[in-house]
Amino acid sequence: MRKTWTGGLVAALATLGLGCGQAATLATPSYTFNKPTVIAGAKLFADHCSACHAVSSLRYNRLAADLGMTKAEIKKDIMLPGGANYLQGMQPTMSQADAKKWFGLPPPNLSHIVRAEGARWVYTYLTSFYWDPKRPSGWNNHIFPNVAMPDILAPWGGTYTKNGKLLQAGRESPALYHKQVAEIVAFLRYASDPSVFERRAIGRYVLGTLILLTILAYLLKKDYWRDIHNKDEAEKAKAAKKAGSAKA
């Protein structure tokens, strides 16, 4: 709760242009928001995040329909073994009780995280972990001080000190690592707003219909005015003829 309102305040300050250290450090994920990006993000999320986090308002069958995936693909790449149900929301493999025991609190449900905090906050959060031996987990975070979540992605992105010194290189290049984190954020953005692709698809037809109606309305207008113009011309000709015969 605390973070949600501080996040909101930071966003409000940034919008007002008042400037604020924290807002200035938020980085923007670089991705093209389309189905392939979201599918890549969903696979990464399943591999790295689903063990702890639920995305309970996203059902697997909805995911399949929205992203154009088959049930077999969802089962192979996205659903984790251990009780996941195709007709239900994404649930973590770890029980909430175990998570509470290990991390001190249950990992939050991420169904609406991008709507609540914004894509930039989530991306910056995921790339702002640093090694802090004073913390029980060994991890801390620049924009979420004393966070209970460990840096799950450190083996890929590398381990840094608070000052940004590299302690241990990750097994991925920084470019690939940032691309993959952006894909995870794209997936969470879709999860916060699952009708986005459906809306885009319908939107195309709505615009097409409106353009068609505009053309029809224009042709109709031309047709109506053609009659009026013809009538005008006929009357003008009649008047001219009358004037001519009067002169004579």
Positions in the binding site for ligand HEC (CB under 6 A): 3, 48-49, 51-53, 103, 105, 107-108, 110, 113, 122, 125-126, 147-150, 152-153, 184
- 40 versus 113: smaller Cβ distance to ligand HEC: 113
- 47 versus 73: smaller Cβ distance to ligand HEC: 47
CA-based torsion, 234, 236, 239, 241: positive or negative: negative
Closest residue to ligand HEC: CB criterion: 49
- 128 versus 197: smaller Cβ distance to ligand HEC: 128
Residues 71 and 166: their CA atoms lie apart, in Å, by 42
If you ran DSSP here, which 8-state letter would residue 133 be given?
A: T
**In angstroms, what is the minimal distance from the CB of 94 to ligand HEC?**
7
**In angstroms, what is the minimal distance from the CB of 140 to ligand HEC?**
10
**In angstroms, what is the minimal distance from the CB of 75 to ligand HEC?**
20
- 68 versus 159: smaller Cβ distance to ligand HEC: 159
Residues of 46-60 as b/e, b for ≥16 C-beta within 10 angstroms? bebbbebbbbeebbb
Query: Mind spelling out the 3-state secondary structure of 146-171?
Result: CCCCCCCCHHHHCEECCCCCEEECCC
Q: What is the CA radius of gyration of the chain?
A: 30
**In angstroms, what is the minimal distance from the CB of 50 to ligand HEC?**
8
